[in-house]
């Protein structure tokens, strides 16, 4: 039990899927896990542990943004023994060839700043995914016939950004999409010796201004959860 996670010892699995929204954690656990049990609800940040194909899995919310994600990733790894953390969430596409509902597997995650930036002082650290998870997720997505893109993303530290010049340069340099958590997840996992990956669903598009209606999101996000689970246990 920690300040932010009220789970009992042993109730968190070594494999943790981390959506930002705690209610999405509840939906994913009830949809994909056998016998899910709520193991945390401190501050409304829900976490559930169950099994998937006989493997223990925890699905735990991370909250929005890197500071919130950093708290939960640190505690899950250091205090509860999590060894594999996979972010499952939505993102905004930044390339014309990336479409709504496509799946993005984040090889790297650029950022303007993260909660871990002070560790590196003047070094521009390059957060990247665990190779074994990345390879397994790409294979799982291919086997499912998913429209998938593997490459770099951008983790923003603000949602309402006003830097069109930065967006333009990221698009120019091939950044696939923007979200708000992966860069810190990759950094924390590297520091503490865990594996990490982000598997994302495109819910909106920064260039075309398209967006998935809420009624379509749940069905589209299910594909992402399946890919994440397959990758974690390959």
Q: What does the pLDDT look like over 5-35, one tens digit per residue?
A: 999 999 999 999 999 999 999 999 999 999 9
Q: What pLDDT sits at residue 1?
A: 82
Mean pLDDT, to the nearest integer, of 140-163?
93
Q: What pLDDT sits at residue 62?
A: 97
Binding-site members are 4, 20, 24, 43, 87-90, 179-181, 203-204
Q: What pLDDT sits at residue 219?
A: 65
Residue 171: CA count within 13 A, CB half-sphere: 16
Q: What pLDDT sits at residue 67?
A: 97
Q: What does the pLDDT look like over 37-67, one tens digit per residue?
A: 999 999 999 999 999 999 999 999 999 999 9
Q: What is the mean pLDDT of the chain?
A: 95
Q: In angstroms, rounded to a whole number, what is the distance separating the alpha carbons of residues 55 and 150?
A: 26
In percent, the amount of the chain with pLDDT more than 70 equals 99
Binding-site members for a purine D-ribonucleoside are 4, 179-181, 203-204
Binding-site members for phosphate are 20, 24, 43, 87-90
Q: What pLDDT sits at residue 216?
A: 73
Q: What pLDDT sits at residue 161?
A: 81
Residues known to be catalytic: 204
pLDDT over threshold 70, residue 210 = yes
Q: What pLDDT sits at residue 218?
A: 65
Mean pLDDT, to the nearest integer, of 114-127?
91
Q: Are 175 and 92 in contact (CB under 8 A)?
A: no
Tokens of 175: 């950044």
Q: What pLDDT sits at residue 64?
A: 96
Which domains are delineated in the chain? 15-232 (3.40.50.1580)
Mean pLDDT, to the nearest integer, of 57-78?
98
Mean pLDDT, to the nearest integer, of 80-99?
97
């Amino acid at each position: 039990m920690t300040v932010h996670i009220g789970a009992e010892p042993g109730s968190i699995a070594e494999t943790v899927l981390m959506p930002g929204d705690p209610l999405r954690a509840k939906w994913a656990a009830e949809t994909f896990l056998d016998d899910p049990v709520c193991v945390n609800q401190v501050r409304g940040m829900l976490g559930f542990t169950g099994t998937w194909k006989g493997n223990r899995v925890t699905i735990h919310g991370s909250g929005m943004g890197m500071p919130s994600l950093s708290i939960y990733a640190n505690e899950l790894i250091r205090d509860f023994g999590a060894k594999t953390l996979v972010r499952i969430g939505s993102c905004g596409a930044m390339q014309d060839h990336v479409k709504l509902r496509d799946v993005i597997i984040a090889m790297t995650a650029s950022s303007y700043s993260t909660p871990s930036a002070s560790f590196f002082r003047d070094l521009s650290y390059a957060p990247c995914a665990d190779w074994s998870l990345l390879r397994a997720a790409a294979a799982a997505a291919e086997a499912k016939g998913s429209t998938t893109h593997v490459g770099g993303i951008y983790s923003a530290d603000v949602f309402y950004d006003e830097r069109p010049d930065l967006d333009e340069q990221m698009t120019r340099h091939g950044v696939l999409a923007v979200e708000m958590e992966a860069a810190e997840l990759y950094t924390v996992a590297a520091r503490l010796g865990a594996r990490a990956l982000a598997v994302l669903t495109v819910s909106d598009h920064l260039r075309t201004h398209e967006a998935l209606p809420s009624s379509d999101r749940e069905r589209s996000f299910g594909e992402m959860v399946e890919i994440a689970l397959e990758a974690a246990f390959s």
